[in-house]
Structure 1
Amino acid sequence: MRLGVITLGHVHAEELNALTPHLQHLEQLVLDVPFDDPLSKHRAELNRAVDAATDDWLLIVREREIVDDAVAREITDAMRAQNAWGFRIRSIPMYAGKPLRIGVTDGELRLFHRRHLLRRGELGVQGTVVRLNNVLRSMSFDTVAAHREYLEKNGVPHSLLRRLLLFAHHAIVTRAHDANTLRYLWIEAGYDHG
């Protein structure tokens, strides 16, 4: 099995290590674009990376995302089975070691066969697209203290009233119920960071 990995932003080799036992060849192509931008905003760069790749199967990984063993196995199984030409993979943000529950997503097209890639408009393939069961983990802050420290250094504090209103809005919109997500939203509501 051979796989090309197109990385958005700076993805270190350690974040892709789980793939190496399952592959004969792993190639990394780096796109120097903001990792959180929509893929459709950088279609020209993405198309050039697809053209430069030497492998037929390509995986897109954003900065801060980690490919763990479960998703690595599912990716290689999907490539081997060839039941579809594209696969959606969800990314779950992790905060202080636990998942953030800030919305439901069907994932993005992240694994595809290059010959079936549609070159214009939204990212898509000609043929069947299936969602993988396992997810990529997107790392945010390792600890609550690191989160607060970052915002104190880079953000502008909100008034208590503004913080309360923003927190209430975000809690309602995200339908957050778990303590970890509510803690994250409370800290975020305290600062304007651009």
Structure 2
Amino acid sequence: MADARDEIDALIGQFSRLPGLGPRSARRMVLHLLQRRDQALRPLVMALDRVAQTAQPCTRCGNIATAPICDICADPKRATGEICVVEDVADLWAMERGQVFTGRYHVLGGTLSALDAVGPDDLHIPQLLERIVSEGIREVILALGATVDGQTTAHYIAESVEQTGVILSALAQGVPVGGELDFLDDGTIGAALRSRRAF
């Protein structure tokens, strides 16, 4: 009995390491799964196994795919000459949820950080420069966070692509749709003011 409890505790420990989950949420999840073995636990185990066997980074953009080239890169309609540069796959998926961007992506795999000793060679910046030439990219859209590291990375990329002649743009930053000024932080309000446009 103690061995079974140890295994359950180990499973709770694994769940609690996931982003956004603490020990209490992990215990609730594991208990839910154990009480619904056939409906929840076994399908989850099978899905995790399938993903573990098939998921891999796209060799072109860095998205998660089940083939060497992801669906976005393989789609000829996405060859618009625009490439959106994001920090990680979560950002790519967030952009896709909006269903507005119709070009291709490039996942950097992080941002430059002097504190964490992350330099240009630790990111996929050289691959981005190669893609600009090989794919005939006309515009690079920087969709990086409004953090110090994000902006440092954006400036580094801007300097790196300067000689290629591509158009360089960045996402506007400011008040979200439906947002009220009273609930926004000072940085967001400042960015919105600086990015103002004619009305």
Task: Give the TM-score of the pair, scaled to structure 2.
Answer: 0.29
Structure of higher CA gyration radius: 2
Q: When you count strand as a share of all residues, which structure comes out higher?
A: 1
